[in-house]
């Protein structure tokens, strides 16, 4: 079901469309490579059965009580019905706008799959909205739309905080916070290890164990996302963007960005905001 919002509210977090569906067809698949998508977040909560999610080079099984949330423009992303599944996959979901950077920053801390449990407030609210929408011809209000988007992000925050409670003092979490602070700069494992008072090898082991990523990979992902955000919303020439992120060699800047977004900074800007 589509949602309509007046132009003056285009920059506010808002619903784009929603769906409740049951699938049992092995050909059911959405992938970033197959379809062209503009920046938008998907929230999809499983009611029954299981679905599969590809994200960040990993594959996740998403079962009842779980939801995946991510920006649909994330390279290599997609979701599909498990090839060998024997039960239908029932889910309720929506696409919402203007929360992409926030969602991806939170996923960098947690991952894209969240255990909302059986009594998932956003899912229940979405089901109610879909039922009400069938009974009325007017779209939901901007207040309802904004409040719902905020509820999804708020629940993500709650789950992350609960998971991280008691673990804030660990080396991996300290490293993650420091890497986020330094995400705009070039990476130096030795410098991070020195700041945290440990050796590089120990830092890598602890970080990999907690976040399933090396400190360098984590830093590169955050840095690339920050560059993409600058390209989407900033009007600076690409050379100035490269300089701002510490890239003195424009060809290396292009290579770095293409590694993460599978396109050059110039083409990314053309597709996302129509600017050269």
In the predicted structure, residue 171 carries a pLDDT above the cut 90: no
- Residue 38: pLDDT band with limits 50, 70, 90: confident
> What is residue 80's predicted lDDT score, i.e. its pLDDT?
96
Which whole-number Å values give the CA distances from 85 to 26, 63, 78, 113, 239, in the listed order? 8, 12, 17, 20, 49
pLDDT at 103: 94
- pLDDT of residue 166 exceeding 50, the answer is yes
- 95 versus 170: which is more confidently predicted? 95
Query: What local confidence, expressed as pLDDT, does residue 4 receive?
Result: 47
pLDDT at 246: 86
Q: Where are the domains of the chain?
A: 7-164, 171-273
Question: Among 94-98, 104-108, 139-143, 260-264, which is the least confidently predicted range?
Answer: 139-143
CA 224 – CA 266 distance, rounded (Å): 14
Q: What per-residue confidence (pLDDT) applies to 136?
A: 60
Mean pLDDT, rounded, of the chain: 86
- Strand 58-62 to 41-48 pairing: unpaired
| CATH H superfamily, domain 7-164 | Jelly Rolls (2.60.120.10)
Beta bridge partners of 255: none
Question: Which residues have CB under 8 Å from 115's CB, separation 6+?
Answer: 65, 66, 159
Per DSSP (E only), the strands in the chain are: 14-23, 29-31, 41-48, 51-55, 58-62, 66-71, 78-80, 89-97, 113-115
- With cut-offs at 50, 70 and 90, classify the pLDDT of residue 131: confident
pLDDT in tens, 62-104: 999 999 999 999 888 999 999 888 899 999 999 999 999 899 9
> Quick one: pLDDT at residue 137?
60
Q: Is the pLDDT of residue 208 over 60?
A: yes
Q: What is the pLDDT of residue 1?
A: 47
Same topology, domains 7-164 and 171-273? Answer is no
pLDDT at 164: 73
The CA-based dihedral angle spanning residues 180, 111, 103, 222, taken in that order and rounded to the nearest 10 degrees: 30
For residues 249-266, average pLDDT: 90
Give 212's pLDDT tier (boundaries 50, 70, 90). confident
Res 135: pLDDT = 64
171-273: what CATH class? Answer: mainly alpha
């Amino acid at each position: 079901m589509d949602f309509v919002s007046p132009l003056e509210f285009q920059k506010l977090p808002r619903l784009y469309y929603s769906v409740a569906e049951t699938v049992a067809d092995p050909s059911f698949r959405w992938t970033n490579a197959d379809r062209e998508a503009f920046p938008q977040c998907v929230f999809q909560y499983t009611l029954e059965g299981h679905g599969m999610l590809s994200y960040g080079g990993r594959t996740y099984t998403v079962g009842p009580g779980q939801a995946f949330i991510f920006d649909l423009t994330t390279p290599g992303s997609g979701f599909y019905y498990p090839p060998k599944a024997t039960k239908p996959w029932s889910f309720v979901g929506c696409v919402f706008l203007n929360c992409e950077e926030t969602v991806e920053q939170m996923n960098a801390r947690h991952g894209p799959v969240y255990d909302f449990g059986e009594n998932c407030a956003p899912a229940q609210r979405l089901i109610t909205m879909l039922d009400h929408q069938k009974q009325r011809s007017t779209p939901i209000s901007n207040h309802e739309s904004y409040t719902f988007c905020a509820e999804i992000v708020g629940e993500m925050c709650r789950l992350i905080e609960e998971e991280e409670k008691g673990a804030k003092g660990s080396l991996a979490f300290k490293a993650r916070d420091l890497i986020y602070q330094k995400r705009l700069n070039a990476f130096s494992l030795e410098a991070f290890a020195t700041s945290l008072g440990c050796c590089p090898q120990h830092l890598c082991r602890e970080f990999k164990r907690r976040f399933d990523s090396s400190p360098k990979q984590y830093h590169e992902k955050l840095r690339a996302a920050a560059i993409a955000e600058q390209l989407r919303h900033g009007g600076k020439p690409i050379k100035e963007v490269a300089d701002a992120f510490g890239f003195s060699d424009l060809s290396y800047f292009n290579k770095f960005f293409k590694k993460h977004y599978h396109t050059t900074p110039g083409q990314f800007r053309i597709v996302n905001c129509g600017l050269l």
